[in-house]
Chain A
């Protein structure tokens, strides 16, 4: 027997979340809720397991292929299980002019990983402009935003990632 996707508690949360989302759209446009529904699933499970995407599709009256197509188009959706800490470092122009390349190298050294490599603990990635250009350089750890970074600040941040 494969393990069920959700615990009973998670199942309840999943259903309630989808029910609520569907009230935001016209009744004949259920599949419009795809992005928020996938986000909801990812919040519950940490990523988008295929069985989960199939469930989302079913609730939204569409196919699992559609769910997968959407999931793979957007970089914030994880169709593979990411490391415990997803760290996105902006290296776009405004940040690069304020040391972002050095920041990325510093992160690689500190975490002992390479940008783009998904590990058990860390998934360090380069990302595009995070709307923090005047407060560069910046990065996000599990979507929490940190800006005006320097080595001391990064050290303090990493200290907290146990």
Chain B
């Protein structure tokens, strides 16, 4: 048995309380006291507190939340909006869903605090269309908040109108990208916008808009209640708080866990509190650390903290916290092919490198997996990927949004780190794993 360093529960603290997903239950565990406190402060003080907390975006980019808020122009006469990103579609990621299901008022209280700080009177929560149950829980919570006089003409009795609406998507990964999300909120297909201007300046309906992830905003009540310093201290130097990660793939106990920023990937996979290791005889071969867009790591790179800075030296990222583990009986080519099919399917079609490149990469990977590929195909694969977004480092993409990078980085990292596996397919004219490419747990039983 191995144990990880203890983690103070912040996000999941109350999930097991009966009725936590109702207003009454939420208030029983101290709900909406943070909002009360925040409303006694000037908005600028709230923003300051969020800056001091070192809260960083949990949607993927890890951008400092307080800093993002400070980009909203103060002198712009237009209305301001808050948009909550509940699109949760990054493969490997399943955490926002559980906040909505288990503690929706934590998000709603965070929304009220954020809107007060930003001077936004309208918030849209954009939830992915497949969230039938989470969305139903959220709708109920919103209705409760209106009925209790928390939202509406007055915000908890204060002269500040706040309206909160849930909008449900309809099945498109791209709508998790913040500007595609705004397009979709405007009733259009999800085609990302060129940046700059950034949404904080020109966002929804041409107005200043802050887009934040569900978990990011749900972190606000504890920050206000227990103080920015406390929150910052929970984490590491540059990443405050704790975070939710989803552990999936070839481990004994997959699931969604609250970890510390100091928790290592190794602890997450092996510790008793979390993944409980792999079955006897199996070893980690590869780990995707932050959703399928994050460059893959190998077994030598597991002693990395799950905070936002730590993956930089490996040219990868903590992303959305989707940790996918592949064991030593998994076929790397097959895994990458499946990932590539996703980006091929989900490219919105706006930029040529991505629209043409992602399906091309998927076809080449299929060819190699099926034993029909040659070394030129491998070269072409890497060339296509590099022409969408060369790697390393992260961030050199040639497309309007980062979906291009998201599909190109896995290809380049898998082929670089597991080249032998690809070459073996070519030399043996087939997959060495035969009809068992998915590792220890790959059979449907």
Chain A positions within 8 Å of B, measured between CB atoms, are 24, 26, 29, 31-36, 38-39, 60, 62, 66, 69-70, 73-77, 88, 91-94, 96-103, 105-106, 128-137, 140, 143-145, 150-151
- Give the residues in chain B near A31, CB-CB below 8 Å: 186-187
Known A-B contacts: A32-B187, A97-B442, A128-B345. Give 13 more (CB < 8 A).
A26-B205, A31-B186, A35-B167, A70-B188, A70-B189, A76-B169, A76-B171, A97-B325, A128-B346, A133-B91, A133-B248, A134-B256, A135-B254
> Nearest chain B CB to A21's CB is how many angstroms away?
9
> Nearest chain B CB to A45's CB is how many angstroms away?
15
- Give the residues in chain A near B407, CB-CB below 8 Å: none
One of B189, B330, B444 near A151 (C-beta < 8 A): B444
- Give the residues in chain B near A88, CB-CB below 8 Å: 130
- Give the residues in chain A near B335, CB-CB below 8 Å: 93, 96-97
- CA separation between A144 and B249, bound complex, in Å? 23
Known: A99-B442, A151-B444. A128 touches B342 (CB 8 A): yes
Do A128 and B188 touch across chains, with their CB atoms under 8 A apart? no
Do B169 and A74 touch across chains, with their CB atoms under 8 A apart? yes
Do B94 and A96 touch across chains, with their CB atoms under 8 A apart? no
- CA separation between A47 and B254, bound complex, in Å? 36
Within 8 A of A (CB), among B249-280: 249-250, 254-256
Within 8 A of A (CB), among B181-199: 184-190
- CA separation between A150 and B186, bound complex, in Å? 40
Which of A62, A96, A103: most chain B CB closer than 10 A? A96
One of A24, A34, A97 near B438 (C-beta < 8 A): A97
- Give the residues in chain B near A69, CB-CB below 8 Å: 189
> Nearest chain B CB to A25's CB is how many angstroms away?
8
A-B contact pairs, 24 of them (CB 8 A): A24-B167, A29-B186, A29-B205, A34-B188, A36-B168, A38-B170, A39-B168, A66-B188, A73-B189, A74-B129, A93-B339, A94-B92, A96-B335, A96-B442, A97-B248, A129-B91, A129-B342, A131-B89, A133-B246, A134-B248, A134-B255, A136-B254, A143-B132, A150-B445
Do B324 and A33 touch across chains, with their CB atoms under 8 A apart? no
Do A75 and B171 touch across chains, with their CB atoms under 8 A apart? yes
Do A135 and B255 touch across chains, with their CB atoms under 8 A apart? yes
- CA separation between A39 and B163, bound complex, in Å? 21
Chain B positions within 8 Å of A, measured between CB atoms, are 88-94, 96-97, 128-133, 163, 165, 167-173, 184-190, 205, 246-250, 254-256, 288, 292, 322, 324-326, 330, 335, 338-339, 342, 345-346, 438-439, 441-445
Do B187 and A60 touch across chains, with their CB atoms under 8 A apart? yes
Q: Which residue of B lies closest to A152 (CB)?
A: B445
Q: Which residue of B lies closest to A133 (CB)?
A: B248
One of B129, B171, B443 near A99 (C-beta < 8 A): B443
> Nearest chain B CB to A150's CB is how many angstroms away?
6
- Give the residues in chain B near A33, CB-CB below 8 Å: 187
Q: Which residue of B lies closest to A37 (CB)?
A: B187
- CA separation between A130 and B292, bound complex, in Å? 13
Do A93 and B324 touch across chains, with their CB atoms under 8 A apart? yes
Do A73 and B247 touch across chains, with their CB atoms under 8 A apart? no
- Give the residues in chain B near A135, CB-CB below 8 Å: 94, 254-255
- Give the residues in chain A near B173, CB-CB below 8 Å: 128
Q: Which residue of A lies closest to B189 (CB)?
A: A73
- Give the residues in chain A near B249, CB-CB below 8 Å: 93-94, 97-98
- CA separation between A34 and B188, bound complex, in Å? 7
- Give the residues in chain A near B93, CB-CB below 8 Å: 129, 131, 133
- CA separation between A38 and B187, bound complex, in Å? 10
- CA separation between A66 and B186, bound complex, in Å? 12
- CA separation between A100 and B190, bound complex, in Å? 28
Do A133 and B442 touch across chains, with their CB atoms under 8 A apart? no
- CA separation between A3 and B38, bound complex, in Å? 57
- Give the residues in chain A near B339, CB-CB below 8 Å: 93
> Nearest chain B CB to A80's CB is how many angstroms away?
15
One of B97, B131, B186, B324 near A94 (C-beta < 8 A): B324
- Give the residues in chain A near B246, CB-CB below 8 Å: 133-134
Do B167 and A96 touch across chains, with their CB atoms under 8 A apart? no
Do A151 and B94 touch across chains, with their CB atoms under 8 A apart? no
- CA separation between A62 and B325, bound complex, in Å? 47
Do B91 and A92 touch across chains, with their CB atoms under 8 A apart? yes
One of B167, B256, B342 near A36 (C-beta < 8 A): B167
- Give the residues in chain A near B247, CB-CB below 8 Å: 134
Which of A39, A135, A144: most chain B CB closer than 10 A? A135
Do B255 and A93 touch across chains, with their CB atoms under 8 A apart? no
One of A29, A75, A91, A102 near B170 (C-beta < 8 A): A75
- CA separation between A130 and B93, bound complex, in Å? 9
- CA separation between A38 and B335, bound complex, in Å? 36
Known: A97-B248, A97-B442. A92 touches B342 (CB 8 A): yes
Q: Which residue of B lies closest to A94 (CB)?
A: B248
- Give the residues in chain A near B445, CB-CB below 8 Å: 99, 102, 150-151
Known: A97-B326, A97-B439, A134-B247. A74 touches B256 (CB 8 A): no
- CA separation between A16 and B246, bound complex, in Å? 40
> Nearest chain A CB to B12's CB is how many angstroms away?
13
Do B444 and A129 touch across chains, with their CB atoms under 8 A apart? no
- CA separation between A8 and B130, bound complex, in Å? 30
